[in-house]
């Protein structure tokens, strides 16, 4: 019997030693305020909720542990015990004196976010409206992929009163409407004739509940407007305008399960940034599907005589080299196609799990002519062109049969037969 007791105590001690620190579990400091504790719980409970991590036993355990940490740290009495004696003190508190009520993790979650404690997967549960926002990122993020964050302002259940609207948690059912928020009123239309109409209850303002001590943060409305930050994973090759869905991250209410937050990922206008990686030539490339488009400017000499090289810095900083040998002419608006230098093909558009694939880079050459020349240069050019014109030049008007005199058009009263 003694050995069994010692073994049980050893197991309990080991469990206490292995238990993760509640402050560390919630990612907060020991001097964190009550609001900090609630904010940490709101964020982490959504992240590790079993509905968002199906089949993940580790996430499920984390969800339960987070609820336990909040349960202890959100109550002044148990927080003091934990700060002084740690997990061992909490275990002794549970076994001794007056039994302390433990919150079911899903019940606790429902108090913070409304609904049944799940993410609106039950058919009978009322589902709130979806929320759509646009997030703009530069082209290089679509090319390279990036993990970043964005912030939206949304309606959230007040964490101060946990959605009750009451400072002391006491909410009374309206005795005038019986909690329905509406009452039936009778109006006399004529002697002996009455009309019954349904109207909002004046006593409770149509809420069905009466709060004598409204919450100082939400003023009794149960919800507040607050910014919320989400992690955004931009995958290589994602198309501009792609929709990314964050389940149950729309406006919250104690009366329904939150709808979905839908992010439309769009491309910002090209602009140079301050850092080196924000100042590549690729910043000003244009995208069409998986292909990229670039305009390269050539001088008259380069287009006519060749013998030039260009180093184009791509969106990830690597060099794409363009060149022509001496004597290779480039006609204005010629488009050169450079294979595998376009956008990466998004993995969801690849067939049969093919490896990385890339679109093409389309380079259009624009030739810039000089608007003025030095007198000596003009004479030299003129002499060269005159020499070759006299040797083999042709008149295009003559070659194409263009008339030397104006063509006389028919008068109004002269008609051609159709």
pLDDT tens string 24-44: 988 998 888 887 888 788 888
Question: d(Cα 3, Cα 266) in Å, to the nearest integer?
Answer: 67
Q: Are strands 361-368 and 291-299 parallel, antiparallel or unpaired?
A: parallel
pLDDT above 50 for 196: yes
Q: What is the pLDDT of residue 303?
A: 96
Q: Which residue has the higher pLDDT, 133 or 55?
A: 133
pLDDT in tens, 72-97: 888 888 888 888 888 888 888 777 65
Q: What is the pLDDT of residue 6?
A: 43
pLDDT above 50 for 13: no
What homologous superfamily does CATH list for 276-368?
Answer: Urease metallochaperone UreE, N-terminal domain (2.60.260.20)
* Topology at the third CATH level for domain 10-103: Helix Hairpins (1.10.287)
pLDDT in tens, 329-352: 999 999 999 999 999 999 998 887
Question: d(Cα 65, Cα 76) in Å, to the nearest integer?
Answer: 19
How buried is residue 252: exposed, middle or buried, by Cβ count under 10 Å (0-12/13-18/19+)? Answer: buried
Q: What is the pLDDT of residue 270?
A: 93
Locate the domains of the chain by residue range: 10-103, 276-368
pLDDT mean over 305-317 = 96
Q: What is the pLDDT of residue 99?
A: 47
Share of the chain above pLDDT 70, in %: 88
Phi, psi of 22, deg, nearest 5: -60, -40
Q: What's the whole-number average pLDDT of the chain? A: 85
CA atoms within 13 A on the CB side of 369: 4
Q: Are strands 182-190 and 172-173 parallel, antiparallel or unpaired?
A: unpaired
Q: What is the pLDDT of residue 43?
A: 82
Question: d(Cα 218, Cα 156) in Å, to the nearest integer?
Answer: 10
Query: Fold match between 10-103 and 276-368?
Result: no
Question: d(Cα 295, Cα 286) in Å, to the nearest integer?
Answer: 10
Q: pTM of the prediction?
A: 0.72
pLDDT mean over 384-402 = 88
Question: d(Cα 32, Cα 69) in Å, to the nearest integer?
Answer: 13
Confidence bin at 319 (pLDDT 50/70/90)? very high
pLDDT in tens, 267-282: 999 998 888 888 999 9
Q: Could you tell me which residues come within 8 angstroms of residue 307 by beta carbon, excluding any fewer than 6 positions away?
A: 324, 325, 326, 327
């Amino acid at each position: 019997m003694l050995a069994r007791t010692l073994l049980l105590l050893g197991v309990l001690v080991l469990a206490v030693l292995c238990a993760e620190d509640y402050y560390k579990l919630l990612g907060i400091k020991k001097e964190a305020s009550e609001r900090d504790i609630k904010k940490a719980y709101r964020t982490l409970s959504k992240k590790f909720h079993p509905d968002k991590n199906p089949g993940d036993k580790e996430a499920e355990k984390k969800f339960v542990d987070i609820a336990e940490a909040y349960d202890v740290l959100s109550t002044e009495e148990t927080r003091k015990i934990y700060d002084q004696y740690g997990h061992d003190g909490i275990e002794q508190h549970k076994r001794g004196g007056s039994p302390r009520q433990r919150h079911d993790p899903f019940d606790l979650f429902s108090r913070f976010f409304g609904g049944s404690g799940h993410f609106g997967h039950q058919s009978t549960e009322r589902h709130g409206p979806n929320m759509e926002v646009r997030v703009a990122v530069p082209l290089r993020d679509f090319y390279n992929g990036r993990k970043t964050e964005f912030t939206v302002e949304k309606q959230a259940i007040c964490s101060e009163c946990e959605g009750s609207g009451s400072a002391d948690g006491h909410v009374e059912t309206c005795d005038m409407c019986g909690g329905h928020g509406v009452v039936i009123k009778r109006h006399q239309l004529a002697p002996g004739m009455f009309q019954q109409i349904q109207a909002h209850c004046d006593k409770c303002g149509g809420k069905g509940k009466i709060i004598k001590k409204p919450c100082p943060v939400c003023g009794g409305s149960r919800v507040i407007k607050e910014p919320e930050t989400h992690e955004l994973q931009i995958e290589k090759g994602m198309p501009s305008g792609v929709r990314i869905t964050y389940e149950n991250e729309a406006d919250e209410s104690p009366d329904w399960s939150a709808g979905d937050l839908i992010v439309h990922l769009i491309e910002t206008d090209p602009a140079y940034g301050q850092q080196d990686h924000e100042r590549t030539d690729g910043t000003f490339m244009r995208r069409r599907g998986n292909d990229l488009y670039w305009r390269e400017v050539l001088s008259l000499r380069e287009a006519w005589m060749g013998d030039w090289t260009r180093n184009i810095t791509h969106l990830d900083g690597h060099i794409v080299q363009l060149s022509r040998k001496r004597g290779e002419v480039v006609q204005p608006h010629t488009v050169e196609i450079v294979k595998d230098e376009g956008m990466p093909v998004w993995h969801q558009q690849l067939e049969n799990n093919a490896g990385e694939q890339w679109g093409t880079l389309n380079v259009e050459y624009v030739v810039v002519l000089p608007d003025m020349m030095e007198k000596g240069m003009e004479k030299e050019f003129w002499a060269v062109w005159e020499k070759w014109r006299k040797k083999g030049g042709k008149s295009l008007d003559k070659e194409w049969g263009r008339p030397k005199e104006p063509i006389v058009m028919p008068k109004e009263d002269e008609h051609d037969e159709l």
